[in-house]
Structure 1
Amino acid sequence: MKTSVRAALAGALACGVLTTAIVVGRPDDHPESDPPSGPYVALGDSYTAGPEIPGQNGSPAGCERSDRNYPALVARRLGLPAADFRDVSCSGATVADLTAAQSTDRGTNPAQLSALSDRTRLVTLGMGGNDIGFASLVKTCVKSGVLNFALNGLKGLKDLKDLDADSGDAPCKDRYVSDGADEVEQRIETADERLAQALAEVRRRAPEARVYVVGYPAILPSHTTGCGDAMGLAAGDVAYLHDKEQQLNGMLRERAEKAGADYVDTYTPSVGRDACADRQVRWIEPLVPLAPAASVHPNERGEQGMADAVLKTLGA
Structure 2
Amino acid sequence: MRRPLLLLAGACLLCLLAACAEGGDEPVAAPARTTGSPAAAPTDYDQYVALGDSYTAAPLVPPTDTSTICLRSGVNYPALVAEAMPGTELTDVSCSGAQTANVTTPQTGLRGSTVPPQINAVRRGTDLVTIGLGGNDEHLFAGVLGQCMELGRSDPTGAPCRDSFADRDLESTFLRIHSNVAGVVRAVQERAPDARVLVVGYPHIVPASGSCDLLPLAAGDYAFAERVTQGLNDAVRAGAADAGAEYVDLWERTAGHDICAADPWINGRITSAERALAYHPLAAEQEAAAEAVLKQIR
TM over 0.5: yes
Return 5+ residue gaps in structure 2 as ranges: 1-41
Residues 43 and 88 of structure 1 are in contact (CA less than 8 Å); yes or no, is this contact kept in structure 2? yes
What percentage of aligned pairs have identical amino acids? 40
Residues 86 and 115 of structure 1 are in contact (CA less than 8 Å); yes or no, is this contact kept in structure 2? yes
How far the C-alpha of 1:226 sits from its partner, in A, is 2.5
How far the C-alpha of 1:49 sits from its partner, in A, is 0.4
Q: Partner residue of 1:234?
A: 218
Q: Partner residue of 1:43?
A: 51
Alpha-carbon distance in 1 for matches of 2:112, 2:281: 22
Q: Partner residue of 1:31?
A: none
Residues 36 and 314 of structure 1 are in contact (CA less than 8 Å); yes or no, is this contact kept in structure 2? no
Alpha-carbon distance in 1 for matches of 2:223, 2:194: 41
* 1:189 partner SS: helix
Alpha-carbon distance in 2 for matches of 1:70, 1:135: 23
Q: Partner residue of 2:163?
A: 174
Correspondence for 1:120 among 121, 126, 132: 126
Q: How many residues in Structure 1 have an aligned counterpart in Structure 2?
A: 254
Q: Partner residue of 2:178?
A: 192
Q: Partner residue of 2:9?
A: none
Cα deviations by residue, 1:5-25 (Å, 9 ceiling, x for unpaired): xxxxxxxxxxxxxxxxxxxxx
Aligned pairs (5 A) from 1:207-222:
207-222=193-208
Cα deviations by residue, 1:16-68 (Å, 9 ceiling, x for unpaired): xxxxxxxxxxxxxxxxxx9842300000000000111111138x611000001
Return 5+ residue gaps in structure 1 as ranges: 1-33, 150-162, 164-168
Q: Partner residue of 1:302?
A: 285
**Highest Rg: 1 or 2?**
1
Cα deviations by residue, 1:147-193 (Å, 9 ceiling, x for unpaired): 113xxxxxxxxxxxxx4xxxxx3210111112xxx433322211222
In proportion to residue count, which structure has more helix?
1
Are residues 131 and 65 of structure 1, via their aligned partners in 2, closer, same or farther at CA, if it must alter by over 3 Å?
same
Residues 40 and 121 of structure 1 are in contact (CA less than 8 Å); yes or no, is this contact kept in structure 2? yes
Aligned pairs (5 A) from 1:9-88:
36-57=44-65, 61-80=68-87, 84-88=89-93
Q: Which amino acid aligns with 2:264?
A: R
Aligned pairs (5 A) from 1:202-281:
202-223=188-209, 225-227=210-212, 229-278=213-262, 281=263
Q: Which amino acid aligns with 2:162?
A: K
Alpha-carbon distance in 1 for matches of 2:99, 2:146: 18
Cα deviations by residue, 1:248-292 (Å, 9 ceiling, x for unpaired): 1111112212211110011112111001112xx211011124661
* 1:63 partner SS: coil
Q: Which amino acid aligns with 2:166?
A: V
Residues 43 and 86 of structure 2 are in contact (CA less than 8 Å); yes or no, is this contact kept in structure 1? no
